[in-house]
Structure 1
């Protein structure tokens, strides 16, 4: 062990335990704004000192660091803001946040995360299924499992995901697809009643998602060569509508445009240009 040096205040300490391992202790910020002492362990002094410096770097950057006594409510706050929101689509964040706020936090928010047991969780999930239905309980359990999986990556002592040991029986609603006659009737009505008929054509004939159709731009449509590129998707978020990347890279492959789509898309482009020119000539903003 190298000669012990006195560290400046707030820089943490590294000590040797009775079992031969080394222990680092650093005061780190928590998601709720408080500060707690965080411990990290290593087989050697250098390994433990490296973990101490990593904790200090996180604290200097204002990034909260979970501790062993963190409750699930505190972990949910950290997980949603630091893990989910920056890395997942806005709709995914909204679905996770809704499940946490309505179902998980009221029943499990006060529980210490590393002490959550299978029996306790099973009882909470069964109560949720009785109150809100099995499908809601199953979705909430899936969100909890994702949160606990992320927690296992952090050095807080969580060694198993108890959500994976609890199961909920819920029927799967696969939905019912329209037959060809229903699709034709729908398109005939849309052609008469709405200027969004070209969008409905793309939905029905190419199988595009709603968000993919809403994210289309004219520069992504080649009417002369009958090719369309789906490059973005537009989704609703708390701040309004946002353009995001597609879920998979293969979704960006060029698609052939059916002949039925050409004339309606040409008409839509002419109509859009006319409305834009009218708005600009009247001094109105164009979106």
Structure 2
């Protein structure tokens, strides 16, 4: 029939006109649990509906889940960890986030669906967690939840991030008690013959982190210009050593004080 629109190929979804005059498209999409289900979208015109159909197909091609009903947090959080955090963040960050998801977020909030999660739910969760653990732990779980919900917003699974509307617990800053000059000199004198003496001097004289000291190579040392290049750090995770960028990915050149050069 002249003017009749062609059928979409298999897997590309369908568009039909409803009795109320609107158009409806149906596409099989990926669910957070790995299964596939039919997703419907609507438009006032065929073109508007076709645009929504193409957007759904784009997400299918990218492997992005599009729940036909609002996913539970217990379904979304593992997907977020494996597909958003693991490929883009440090292993240490992934391990920390995974622990908060496994120990706190999934057991205490996992039954909630993304769209039904409210400000009061988040606030009650934080109060309960702070009472059971510490304010610092609750504050970190809030940060993990906020990041996970931001990703859900980016993938258009929810329209707002309720965690951003809740003020995190206020954790008291840990009071530090640095050594005095005499204590520092006594320590260096006592450890003079220790195999790790050079590491102790770098930590004290330059404030390098442990991972940055372990990650140093001879090529990072320039005695002629009296500088040290901090290019990487070495970490141990799950019993395996691996090299990574410095904290906050800040590669830097630092001057060597006389203490670190003197024999």
TM over 0.5: yes
User: Equivalent residue for 1:242?
Assistant: 242
Contact 1:24 1:39 in 2 (8 A): yes
- Normalised TM-score (structure 2): 0.85
Distance 1:10 1:47, change over 3 A: closer
Give 5+ residue unaligned stretches, structure 1.
265-287
- Normalised TM-score (structure 1): 0.78
Distance 1:163 1:19, change over 3 A: farther
How many residue pairs match? The answer is 256
Give 5+ residue unaligned stretches, structure 2.
none
Shift in Å at residue 104 of structure 1? 0.7
Shift in Å at residue 221 of structure 1? 0.9
Equivalent residue of 1:177, what SS?
coil
Distance 1:197 1:14, change over 3 A: farther
Shift in Å at residue 134 of structure 1? 2.2
Equivalent residue of 1:11, what SS?
coil
Cα shift readout 1:129-148 (whole Å, capped 9, x = no counterpart): 22122221121111111111
Distance of 1:244 and 1:76 partners within structure 2: 25
Distance of 2:92 and 2:48 partners within structure 1: 44
Using the TM superposition, name which of 40-49 and 254-263 deviates more.
40-49
- 1:128 equivalent to 2:125? Answer no
User: Equivalent residue for 1:44?
Assistant: 48
Contact 2:31 2:37 in 1 (8 A): yes
Distance of 1:14 and 1:52 partners within structure 2: 13
Distance of 2:254 and 2:233 partners within structure 1: 16
Alignment of 1:29-40 (within 5 A): 29-39=30-40
Distance of 1:177 and 1:17 partners within structure 2: 73
- 1:221 equivalent to 2:221? Answer yes
Distance of 2:189 and 2:21 partners within structure 1: 78
CA RMSD of aligned residues (A): 2.7
